[in-house]
Amino acid sequence: MRRYAATVARRLKRHYPDATCSLHFRSPLELLVATILSAQCTDERVNQVTPGLFEKYRTAADYARVPQEELEAAIRSTGFFRNKAKNIRACCQTLLQQHGGEVPSRMDALVALPGIGRKSANVVLGTAFGIGVGVVVDTHVTRVSRRLGLTEHKDPEKIERDLMALFPKSQWIDLAHAMVHHGRRICTARKPKCGACPFGDICPRIGVPN
């Protein structure tokens, strides 16, 4: 299985050499906010909302003191805006109270923030800080890794453990980015383009719709 995983990693790198996070950001705080907004929302939509948001709110203090209703209005188009606004404000209040207004670069500190789970923490650590503590497992990584037979699990944390066991730590950040790109471009949910897939000769196509 490790040999198979190594082949997968080589092909992903060859076909998606410049794969990176598609959320636009200029600082760890902006990525943290964008990650919260991306829940149940496309990155494309988030990237339409964040330029104006980031221009108006630049620090954790700005988000912490903005009225709930004002923030809701600014992010309404991302969906679930009430809960997201609540989480962003609470998250930034915690940053002010416990981290001097700065985004921490530790997994334990990030997952303790309101609205931040392990997936979001991995995104921030890997993309903003270049720290590969784990593998980001979103819907694309879940689908691709299951179809390729890299995991049998559906639970993100169990999938992450399987991927961490199969791939060296140095590949964890880029692996997730490449899998996301592959899931968006080729290994789509409903009509995967298996004829154009770089894994066509080795993929077991587990769960691929007929």
The reply to whether 86 belongs to the active site is: no
Residue 151: which of 143, 140, 162, 141 has the closest Cα? 162
* Positive or negative torsion for Cα 183, 189, 190, 195: positive
How far is residue 90 CA from its own chain's centroid? 20
Give the number of other CB atoms < 10 A from CB of residue 68.
12
* Active-site position among 138, 158, 174, 201: 138
The reply to whether 155 belongs to the active site is: no
Give the number of other CB atoms < 10 A from CB of residue 53.
20
Question: What is the 3-state composition of the chain as percent helix, strand, coil, each rounded to the nearest 5?
Answer: 60, 0, 40
* Active-site position among 119, 154, 169, 174: 119
Active site residues: 119, 138
